[in-house]
Structure 1
């Protein structure tokens, strides 16, 4: 249904009321409804389209009740849905409706006062004639100038009448939220509703009267019919996009890092299981529902997670290029890469937290899943990826620098990285000039480079013996 208005608060006079169950027409034998004051002709005597005998003179006039309205009232069952979402009622004609709890049903007259004329509503205890506070809770209403005049006219008419016609119903979006009896003529614009209230129930009614008095209107700019399966289709499309992205990541890892793709795939699977368990737990305990924006956050998190692996793997390769064996390279690379990973994830988490705090709606769903998966990324890298790579470094396939291991020492050295303290001399260069150039280069070495060169030369001599 198309919603065009909401929070519509209205005051209507009560014409007829009874229990909120369907009943037979008052003219049928065995009817138990007491509506003697309602001059309703029988269906046999009056056609369904016949107008009332006389024109109504005010909103409490029973001539408002036509055979059609009486039939609608008799057949109304408050336990079933009888109103459309966003339904707008004509304020100039009677209304057949139920209370919020579905216990009573009403025939109400036309609207006499709009909720926008309520200037304030509050709850409090009733004060005695001496000004002492009692234990009886009530709801206090204050009207503006227009509301004061209109409410004065209504109470003057309702006060002499008998039940139920001396009641006025207050409806919110077409449902009766209260139907108090008029006990006095009120001309000062301040009314008090009493009854079987406690602190909480009086506060609820006061809030409904206060904030429900602010009608919200919607002007229809466009209208689009959407199938009931659209959400499922969008979710399927989002999951398909995530699967395609995951497959591309696996292909890239296998092409770039060869055997290390095992680590990438294993880490992504562990991360996926953790995220699924967390979302399932939040759905169970907190009623969390994954939206399309949340799915987008999960897809983006794949890149965040893989970025951590790439940083770690490249640090290991740098260590191997410097001549270290794989086990030592893994440990040294972890100490160097964890700082970069922490900084990267911290930036992602801060961005997600900022979006979650400052935005609303779907953007918050995106921010929530992005922040959640960033935390999961840290857990997986520390507790799974690093230990797994330590174990693989002890295997012959990876430690030997197999071409398909991702740690091929020959291929890494051929990348053009020479290393500290190493000088290359062209074979065609004369020996004297080469010696001069080498001395000049030696004077430009840093202390670390000199120590590294000395250690390398010592290792070469030891190996020679």
Structure 2
């Protein structure tokens, strides 16, 4: 018995798809009963309304605030809001330097407090670095490279004093610290326990807004969530920064290098403090990470460079180097400049806003989507007749999957559907329909060649699926690029576009193709009923064409003797290659038929005979023309 093929497994594929849909809907149902899930996705600010807060940034010394510092303040607030789990928040600037924060739904008081909290920058000594995940074990010593104010690429666990007490104590083991890097004083059992339990892979620990006691140890995360730190007390405040710029490094010869660096300069007070810090850190060069100092913005470490051996910076000017790109160096410089001018946010107004305009736009958008869906259905039925019902069923399955996934993400990930997201769903109708059209037209092309529907489905699928995957890959890549580069509501469009593109692949592979394999076995479709949309005669198949098995199709016509003479025999080539013409043979019983070469030779002989009859004398003997090739007799089985 031959091994089973894919054509024998469509029901299994449909069962798997049904299980996936059932699992999604069952999870949502369980969430509505035992958790906070709902049967409808949460809506964004433009569709549901929410809370709008207008903030006015104020500098402590009354200095003017630049547009770059406003932009950095918006980035800080967005970091806080996104990490708190609030999706589709709108944060923009208005004329006059005001910042408008729109939070969808009913945000918690903690979230509102995060928005209103001022951001501060400070320089603290590094006492310990660890992996971002929680741990019960004390980190083991591991040396790190020392570079000229270089941000370490991969922070290594470092030794910390062990705490033997059963109950963590916050009392230091000595009366006073020797210096700000005194681990014995600052790393108490309570601090060590907090450090071990901290999980920097949890987004809620990356919200920032908590600056810590300036005179005590501070446990926090890197802003990217890639490491966690124990830091000493504040040694230099961000206000002491005079300027920060990014650019290519300067070589000892005075020329320009090819590495991106950040140059930072301090004011007079900051220069004195920085000289003291670098002098002390030089004495700790052999015990990393105690030779590092952390730049902390809004309670998160943005950089933790180490000091070159033997270097004491006395002029208040430092160069921070590392694996910087042009963009990352500029970003760090902007963050440092933001910290140089401490801002406080005055709440100018806080009010609830409605979604009247958004609701009207949503209604119009849904109407446009229904019209587009209706046109696709009508076109499918007119173009493909009964086969168009497969398109309708596939669109229903795609819609059910999309609804289930969005509702589940809304519950588990805090996703909110915005008006641009709805636009992405509407665009997906065309993407999904396009995949069906490619597949159906491939099948119809195979039917025009004379294949049976079962063979045409398999052959058409081999050729169509690569086109479908290529098209969806382009759409998905465009969605990813748009999501990464865009901000705000445009990301909602990119997200739904990418999601529906993935669902389109699932539907075509796990529903449309298996359904076509099943309907190809039915009498209505398999025998090419005129209303099926797969009638070979309506598709322009050659008269007398028939599929003879093993990937071979015969195109023939009836001779005067009543037997079918093959005009061509075509054998399938590998998917993607052109079919290979083979030597034609006679089809049916009786004497053998003529090959293509024989017919062409006979035609040329007839023309030559007619010409010679016209030009030659009357008594000239007739010339016979022999065929150029022999004849092949036989039957096609």
TM-score with structure 1 length normalisation?
A: 0.52
Give the distance between the partners of 1:360 and 1:459, measured in 2 at CA: 77
Which of 439, 454, 458 in structure 1 is aligned with 2:585?
Answer: 454
Give the distance between the partners of 1:328 and 1:463, measured in 2 at CA: 23
Equivalent position SS for 1:411:
coil
Which of 352, 360, 384 in structure 2 is aligned with 1:233?
Answer: 360
Structure 2 residue aligned with 1:346: 473
Give the distance between the partners of 1:298 and 1:101, measured in 2 at CA: 30
Check whether the contact 1:7–1:215 (CA below 8 A) recurs between aligned residues. yes
Which of 426, 441, 445 in structure 2 is aligned with 1:299?
Answer: 426
Structure 1 residue aligned with 2:454: 327
Check whether the contact 2:398–2:503 (CA below 8 A) recurs between aligned residues. yes
Return closer, same or farther for 1:417/1:351 CA change in 2, 3 Å cut-off: farther
Shift of 1:322: 1.0
Shift of 1:417: 13
Equivalent position SS for 1:122:
strand
Moved more, 124-133 or 242-251: 124-133
Give the distance between the partners of 1:269 and 1:329, measured in 2 at CA: 25
Cα distance per residue 1:66-115 (max 9 Å; x no partner):
xxxxxxxxxxxxxxxxxxx99x9xxxxxxxxxxx9999xxxxxxxxxxx9
Cα distance per residue 1:12-69 (max 9 Å; x no partner):
9xxxxxxxxxxxxxxxxxxxxxxxxxxxxxxxxxxxxxxxxxxxxxxxxxxxxxxxxx
Map 1:235-384 to 2 at 5 A. Answer: 235-384=362-511
Shift of 1:359: 2.2
Give the distance between the partners of 2:112 and 2:416, measured in 1 at CA: 30
* 1:402 is the counterpart of 2:533: no
Shift of 1:244: 1.0
RCO comparison, higher one (Cα < 8 Å, 6+)? 2
Structure 1 runs not aligned, ≥5 long: 13-84, 89-99, 104-114, 147-186, 192-201, 218-225, 428-437
Shift of 1:365: 1.6
Shift of 1:141: 3.0
Return closer, same or farther for 1:272/1:7 CA change in 2, 3 Å cut-off: same
Structure 2 residue aligned with 1:173: none
In terms of fraction of residues, the more helix-rich structure is 1
Check whether the contact 1:315–1:337 (CA below 8 A) recurs between aligned residues. yes
Cα distance per residue 1:142-195 (max 9 Å; x no partner):
65599xxxxxxxxxxxxxxxxxxxxxxxxxxxxxxxxxxxxxxxx96899xxxx
Check whether the contact 1:421–1:450 (CA below 8 A) recurs between aligned residues. no
Structure 2 runs not aligned, ≥5 long: 1-50, 63-92, 97-109, 128-175, 187-215, 218-232, 243-267, 274-295, 302-334, 346-352, 547-552, 569-577, 593-633
CA RMSD of aligned residues (A): 5.2
Moved more, 252-261 or 360-369: 360-369
Map 1:123-272 to 2 at 5 A. Answer: 123=124, 128=177, 133=182, 134-135=185-186, 136-137=216-217, 138-139=233-234, 140-141=236-237, 143=239, 204=298, 211=338, 213=341, 228-272=355-399
Give the distance between the partners of 1:203 and 1:458, measured in 2 at CA: 91
Equivalent position SS for 1:287:
coil
Return closer, same or farther for 1:129/1:448 CA change in 2, 3 Å cut-off: closer
Check whether the contact 1:402–1:408 (CA below 8 A) recurs between aligned residues. yes
Map 1:61-140 to 2 at 5 A. Answer: 121-123=122-124, 128=177, 133=182, 134-135=185-186, 136-137=216-217, 138-139=233-234, 140=236
Return closer, same or farther for 1:129/1:306 CA change in 2, 3 Å cut-off: closer
Which of 58, 63, 73 in structure 2 is aligned with 1:8?
Answer: 58
Shift of 1:450: 3.6
Structure 2 residue aligned with 1:385: 512
Aligned residue pair count = 299
Give the distance between the partners of 1:264 and 1:343, measured in 2 at CA: 20
Check whether the contact 2:480–2:494 (CA below 8 A) recurs between aligned residues. yes
Give the distance between the partners of 2:431 and 2:57, measured in 1 at CA: 44
Return closer, same or farther for 1:359/1:405 CA change in 2, 3 Å cut-off: same
Equivalent position SS for 2:123:
strand
Larger radius of gyration: 1
Shift of 1:463: 9.4
Check whether the contact 2:588–2:635 (CA below 8 A) recurs between aligned residues. no
Structure 1 residue aligned with 2:80: none
Check whether the contact 2:420–2:489 (CA below 8 A) recurs between aligned residues. yes
Equivalent position SS for 1:410:
coil
Give the distance between the partners of 2:502 and 2:417, measured in 1 at CA: 18
Shift of 1:402: 1.3
Give the distance between the partners of 2:60 and 2:544, measured in 1 at CA: 81
TM-score with structure 2 length normalisation?
A: 0.39
Shift of 1:8: 2.5
Check whether the contact 1:6–1:215 (CA below 8 A) recurs between aligned residues. no
Give the distance between the partners of 1:365 and 1:347, measured in 2 at CA: 18
